[in-house]
């Protein structure tokens, strides 16, 4: 069955050409605080459909998709019950060798997961309708090592709620891109309330467009773009209230460049560039009790101060 942390995984492994329509609820209540139960797992299989499933309790991963092709999830509801940093919602990766391909998820509700609501690692052709995350310990949705993707809505409340715990930092967000995510990632809308950050792009992720954002009350930056390239935030519209929008870089990667921040209404906030070594465009934004702190070479056209 494999293992995590040296402990055998207990899982239901789904074979190819399976339809599993769970109209009830799968409950994992083993009394352990470090469970290695994975209710539903796919290991290098194909043509699998899960139209409905609800998973409650303390699984290690609720659904784990490893190197699978043509895998569809419909309505997925996940509620974890342990107030600790264990337990992921849906994870899609390449643990069996090849990248997962053509994976779709219509609707995910993830609450109190000890890690992310949704995590992707090495998947091509991802399609996600809606992710609603509430009180996840880490990201509402973490997108990494990914090729093209179409994502409808990420709506997260208090994502990365554990950032203030001892030894934990603000590394996550309602929606986070990391570890070479991209190119060809399109997100229709991000809604973020409270939590660590709204949007966080890091570690050479690139080729990302987000049409609309609505972010407020975050503890850290509303939006942080760090060592990312060809990123377009709010191609249609957006509102940011409170903490700043910042473009930054760390020394181990080339600096952020080709970043566009546009069509935003900033309320009691600011847009700040701390790189000054890349092409940054900040345009057509409305500044309500807000300011722009940019570099001399940045493009800043059409911004309105109110």
CA 53 from centre of chain:
21
Structure confidence at residue 35 (pLDDT): 63
Q: Are 93 and 70 in contact (CB under 8 A)?
A: no
Structure confidence at residue 166 (pLDDT): 44
Q: Tell whether the model's pLDDT for residue 165 goes beyond 90.
A: no
- The more confidently predicted of residues 36 and 208 is 208
- pTM recorded for the entire structure: 0.95
Binned at pLDDT 50, 70 and 90, residue 4 comes out as low
Tokens of 113: 């997961």
Binned at pLDDT 50, 70 and 90, residue 6 comes out as very low
Across the chain, mean pLDDT equals: 92
Within 13 A of 9's CA, how many CA atoms are on the CB side?
20
Tokens of 49: 């459909």
Mean pLDDT of 289-303: 96
- The more confidently predicted of residues 10 and 30 is 10
- The more confidently predicted of residues 40 and 165 is 40
Binned at pLDDT 50, 70 and 90, residue 9 comes out as confident
CA 204 from centre of chain:
15
Structure confidence at residue 147 (pLDDT): 83
Mean pLDDT of 238-258: 95
* Rounded-to-integer distance, Cα 18 and Cα 228, Å: 39
pLDDT 10s digits, 44-84: 999 999 999 999 998 999 999 999 999 999 999 999 987 66
Q: Are 115 and 87 in contact (CB under 8 A)?
A: yes
Q: Tell whether the model's pLDDT for residue 164 goes beyond 60.
A: no
Q: Tell whether the model's pLDDT for residue 146 goes beyond 70.
A: yes
Q: What is the CA radius of gyration of the chain?
A: 19
Helix segments in 79-227, DSSP class H: none
Domain boundaries along the sequence of the chain: 40-305
Binned at pLDDT 50, 70 and 90, residue 134 comes out as very high
Mean pLDDT of 126-155: 95
* Rounded-to-integer distance, Cα 55 and Cα 74, Å: 14
DSSP string spanning 187-236?
Answer: EEEEEEESSS-SEEE-SS-EEEEEEEEEEES-SS-SEEEES-EEEEEEEE
Structure confidence at residue 1 (pLDDT): 42
Binned at pLDDT 50, 70 and 90, residue 36 comes out as confident
């Amino acid at each position: 069955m494999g293992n995590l942390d040296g402990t055998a995984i207990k899982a239901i492994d789904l074979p190819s050409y399976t339809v599993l329509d769970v109209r009830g609820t799968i409950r994992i209540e083993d009394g352990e605080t470090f469970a290695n139960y994975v209710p539903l797992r796919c290991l290098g299989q194909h043509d699998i459909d899960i139209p409905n499933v609800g998973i409650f309790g303390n699984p290690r991963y609720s659904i784990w998709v490893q190197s699978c092709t043509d895998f569809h999830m419909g309505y997925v509801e996940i509620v974890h019950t342990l107030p600790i940093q264990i337990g992921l919602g849906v994870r899609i990766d390449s643990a069996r060798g090849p990248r997962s391909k053509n994976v779709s998820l219509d609707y995910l509700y993830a609450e109190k997961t000890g890690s992310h609501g949704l995590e992707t690692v090495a998947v091509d052709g991802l399609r996600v309708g809606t992710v609603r995350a509430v009180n996840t310990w880490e990201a509402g949705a973490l997108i990494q090592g990914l090729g093209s993707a179409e994502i409808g809505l990420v709506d997260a409340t208090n994502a990365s709620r554990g950032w203030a715990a001892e030894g934990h930092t603000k590394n996550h967000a309602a929606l986070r891109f990391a570890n070479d995510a991209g190119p060809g990632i399109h997100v229709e809308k991000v809604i973020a309330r409270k939590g660590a950050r709204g949007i966080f792009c890091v570690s050479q992720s690139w080729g990302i467009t987000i049409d609309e954002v609505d972010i407020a009350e975050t503890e850290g930056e509303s939006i942080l773009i760090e060592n990312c390239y060809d990123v377009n935030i709010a191609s249609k519209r957006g509102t940011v209230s409170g903490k700043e929008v910042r473009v930054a870089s760390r020394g181990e990667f080339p600096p952020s460049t080709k970043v566009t921040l546009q069509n935003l209404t900033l309320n009691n906030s600011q847009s700040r560039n701390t790189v000054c070594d890349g092409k940054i465009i900040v345009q057509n934004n409305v500044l309500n009790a807000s300011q722009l702190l940019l570099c001399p070479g940045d493009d800043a056209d059409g911004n309105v101060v109110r």
